[in-house]
Amino acid sequence: MPEIPMVNLRKQYESIRFELDEAISRILTKGSFILGAEVVAFEEEFAEYCGVSHAVGVASGTEALQLALQACGVGENTEVIAPAHTAVATISSIEATGASPILVDIDLMRYALDANLLARSITSRTRAIIPVHLYGCPVDMNPILQFARENNLLVIEDCSQAHGALYEDNKVGSLGDIAAFSFYPTKNLGAFGDGGAVVTGNSKIAEKVRLLRQYGWKEHYISSVKGINSRLDELQAGILRVKLRYLDNWNLRRQQLAELYCGLLADKELTLPVKPENSSHVFHQFVVRHPRRDELKQYLMEHGIHTLVHYPMPIHLQPAYVRLGYSVGNLPNTELVSREVLSLPLYPELTEEEIKRVCQNVIDFLSAV
């Protein structure tokens, strides 16, 4: 039988090939490739989509988060609270500013930063909190926002896996002070290479990000502040403009396929994703948990079904971050989840028959153990 991949970007391209080819041809014909009309148009369209007044296109999601932090004044001798269960990019972005990450454990429903642990994590140097909307599920933002207001902290959303997700009828990215998005090709809204954006309702912060993304230039070749080179190019912006028009429908399809997964795998010895009542989960990943995760992963691979682990080792236990001073047992929920999570194939072009095949193989494994 044919293999079932984790994602199939060729199928997505084929579904909107004419529009993508037209956009690429239009940009190539213009001969303008950096920070031109396509970037401006995408920034306006993406800001409107997110429900904010400003979007700034940058070169990657990692740099979007870094620049968001820097624009908010995060740097040397400051601290940023973030979950330990996240992509390494979240933490490396903090360190790129010169700030120190303070890692917090997660809850076992949303796999997100546990707001109940914030009070014990704050110090006089804390400047910001980064809630990560992991796997497409919005963080429970209200308690985090309240804590931030009470302690004069900034909230910087990491939305890299949650394009279009809703929390109490508001898009993620519009909830905190500023937010970062990634447009890596496999994201719900993905480019044909790296790309990212910073979104905010604060005009002063947006202007600072615009300076920082291009050497701190207010006028050409004159740096008013220290900046970097982090520009979204015209080709990626044009591609993203096409794909943005399909994002809500693609997210709906992801939700429908997730419902099918949940129905077929209900009442099995498997922990399924939770869909919080006040949120709209957009299922960037369909993540299950099982104590014998590695055996399940191997079994599915032997039957032609690709899976991934997001993420196999907690940040606080990785060699690069041992120096932060954490050890085994410090963040028990994070460590448990890292041992058990498995992402099953999920993308809009996946067929229901393929979902049924995945589920039958999962059920066969569970019946045998």
Interval 101-117 mean pLDDT = 97
**Rounded Cα distance, 163 and 250, in Å:** 11
pLDDT in tens, 15-32: 999 999 999 999 999 999
With 90 as the cut, is the pLDDT of residue 222 above it? no
Q: Which fold has domain 247-368?
A: Aspartate Aminotransferase, domain 1 (3.90.1150)
Q: Which of 125-134, 221-230, 270-279 has the lowest mean pLDDT?
A: 221-230
Are β-strands 170-171 and 100-104 bridged in parallel, bridged antiparallel, or unpaired?
unpaired
Task: Give residue 247's pLDDT.
Answer: 98
Interval 334-350 mean pLDDT = 98
Count, residues in the chain = 369
pLDDT in tens, 60-89: 999 999 999 999 999 999 999 999 999 999
Task: Give residue 96's pLDDT.
Answer: 97
CA distances 324 to 49, 153, 319, Å, are 38, 22, 10
Handedness of CA 229, 230, 236, 237 (dihedral sign): negative
With 90 as the cut, is the pLDDT of residue 216 above it? no
Q: List beta partners, residue 232.
A: none
State in words which class domain 9-104+111-244 has.
Answer: alpha beta
Binned at pLDDT 50, 70 and 90, residue 369 comes out as confident
What percentage of the chain exceeds 70 in pLDDT?
100
Q: List beta partners, residue 157.
A: 179
Who's near 195: CB < 8 A, 6+ residues apart? 57, 58, 59, 60, 61, 182, 183, 184, 232, 233, 236, 237, 240
- Residues 310, 135 contacting (CB under 8 angstroms): yes
With 90 as the cut, is the pLDDT of residue 1 above it? no
With 90 as the cut, is the pLDDT of residue 102 above it? yes
pLDDT in tens, 153-178: 999 999 999 999 999 999 999 999 99
**Rounded Cα distance, 133 and 180, in Å:** 11
Q: List beta partners, residue 286.
A: 344
**Rounded Cα distance, 328 and 100, in Å:** 20
Task: Give residue 224's pLDDT.
Answer: 86
**Rounded Cα distance, 196 and 296, in Å:** 34
Domain range list for the chain: 9-104+111-244, 247-368
3-state secondary structure of 141: helix
247-368 shares the fold of 9-104+111-244: no
Task: Give residue 74's pLDDT.
Answer: 97
Average pLDDT over the chain, rounded to an integer: 97
